[in-house]
Amino acid sequence: SRCRAAKRRLGAGGGPAGRRPLGEGGLGEREPAGQTARACPGFSDGNSKWLAPAKAKKSQRKGNHVELSSDGEVEEGSWEMEEEDGSSREMVDDYGASSSEEEELLPIEKAALKQKPEREGLSEDDSEEEEEEEDEAEEASKQKMGQKEEQGPDLQLNLDIDEQFKLPTSEEIEKEDILFICDIHKPCPPDLHIIHQRIQGNMEVLQDFGVKREEGRSRQEYLALLRRDMAAYYSYSDFLLTKLMDIFPLPELINFLEANEVPRPVTIRTNTLKTRRRDLAQALINRGVNLDPLGKWSKTGLVIYDSTVPIGATPEYLAGHYILQGASSLLPVMALAPQENERILDMCCAPGGKTSYIAQLMKNTGMILANDSSAERLCSVVGNLHRLGVTNAVVSNCDGRQFPKILGGFDRVLLDAPCSGTGVISKDPAVKTNKDEKDILRCAHLQKELILSAIDSVNAASETGGYIVYCTCSIMVEENEWVVDYALKKRNVRLVATGLDFGKEGFTRFKDHRFHPSLKSTRRFYPHTHNMDGFFIAKFKKFSNAIPQAQKVAALSIAPGTIITEPPPKKKKLEASKADKEQEPPQPALKKKCSLQAQRRPLKA
């Protein structure tokens, strides 16, 4: 730093070459580091002892140097320091490096050096005013620190009190509702941090309810508050949250709700009709795509982490080497396990991902009938089938409920039924609020009609097939287990293993309902456990083409011990026929027979 200061003064041209007295510069010139600031305005004599220069180590100059002469002048040159042990080293003069004197400077001295250029341009009055302002600021900060110290124990007590969760009263809840609404047209959002803390405290109490519960409070009150807070925090309707609380235990419910706030990973399926997964992965890696295999259960899937190019517009995508498809959409086709040269029906095929996967597994042999009731959605099906090179598919636009009357005798049927979409909330957050009880029951009724139609379209006498796969992207029991149990009662089918190594078993009992024990072979998939969209899969095997009569099914459904008050319908018909015969007039031939029989009888005495 001294070298730089000396060179600046020499460049200014003041004094003889190579020498310049210290302290003769103007106001804007900088003094060497470590020099005292007693002559500077704004510094009192009391601070001078803190600003004294640090003592330098004993050193012997060697060669050219810059030194302080007896009259306080600088000599130009380069510095070399010779240590006590005799070794010599050259002083470092890099930008940002500090000398031994600067390393020993106190923090107040460094602050004084920074503020010196600003203070040199101020008058004495201004400096005095600044000193007064600094003193006032210090006093105010001391007062604040004293107040915080006084409030410290109280704050600690409040934290200790808040550790034990207590249910808010009805009045407090009403006050919160009033505070949340500032204006009729502009409602204020609730304090999510407070609600989140209350959810955590409530969950801790419910997990150990016998010990941590508040006296005089029931479990229903805690659950009602938890449902209200979850609906506010995660933006769900009260109806849907009640349904989810019936399906999941409370800790798992929190994980499910959190997983729905995060999008699922982007996955693609390799089209083995045109390329191999290894070659496709290498081509995409060369384009700057970071990917990995989807899992051991899939031989064609790839998961995309990030990419420098748009995945849906690469040359490989346009050439039909892969298709963007969710991981859960691969599972129904794997459960269906189509074989070559079979006749297969995809009853609800749009947008064509499952249809193309079936054709891929069949190696473009046999025949696939891709049906959908929406003509607009069939456009995407046709486009994907052409791009992927599928040549064994026929596209139709029919109502699936009327399909057995149109065409039947298929070896296998895949039914991806329309549903409420409660398994894909991460893709469509509107499901959180726009679904109610009527929507669920309407979907369940349609699914029951479609599954009976799908079963009737299968040929039970098929040598290789006779299977039906039913799947939905919903987690509601009304759309899954209820529909499957209904099909088991209405048709000659039984449930078989899906062939999938993972997934949770379906429900055999739910609240007051009891389902067929074979529903354990169905599979459920959740976003918080399998990191894929919520899905349900069931696989049927049809063992007879005959349709059971409704009367037998009704007789089986009657519980033992019940008394039938009304007579069976057959007896009613017999009685009605007898009454009709009595009311009818006798025919002439019968009249003659009766008269002849009366003549032949002997007369009584």
Catalytic residue list: 473
Q: What is the DSSP letter of 215?
A: T
**Residues with Cβ within 8 Å of residue 22, at least 6 apart in sequence:** 31, 32, 68, 72, 73, 74
Tokens found for residue 72: 């306080």
The one-letter code for the residue type at 288 is G
SS3 441: helix
Q: Residue 416, annotated ligand binder?
A: yes
How would you label 20-58 residue by residue, b for 16+ Cβ within 10 Å and e otherwise? bebeebeeeeebbbbbbbeeebbbeeeeeeebeeeeeee
CA 495 – CA 515 distance, rounded (Å):
12
CA 79 – CA 64 distance, rounded (Å):
7
Report how far Cα 30 is from the mean position of its chain's Cα atoms.
60
Q: Residue 352, annotated ligand binder?
A: yes
CA 392 – CA 394 distance, rounded (Å):
7
CA 410 – CA 419 distance, rounded (Å):
24
Q: Residue 348, annotated ligand binder?
A: yes
Tokens found for residue 597: 């029989």
CB 371 within 8 A of CB 403: yes
Q: Residue 428, annotated ligand binder?
A: no
- In 3D space, the residue among 187, 198, 36 whose CA is nearest the CA of residue 116 turns out to be 36
CB 479 within 8 A of CB 443: yes
Q: Residue 432, annotated ligand binder?
A: no
CB 344 within 8 A of CB 358: yes
Tokens found for residue 42: 């704004």
Q: How far apart are the first and last CA of the chain?
A: 162
Q: Residue 399, annotated ligand binder?
A: yes
CA 369 – CA 391 distance, rounded (Å):
12
List the helix and strand counts (H, then E) for the chain. Answer: 23, 17
SS3 510: strand
Tokens found for residue 449: 């009609």
Q: Residue 299, annotated ligand binder?
A: no
Q: Residue 541, annotated ligand binder?
A: no
Other CB atoms closer than 10 Å to residue 274's CB: what's the count?
Answer: 17
Q: Which residues are annotated as part of the binding site for S-adenosyl-L-methionine?
A: 348-354, 372, 399, 416
Residue positions forming the annotated binding site = 348-354, 372, 399, 416
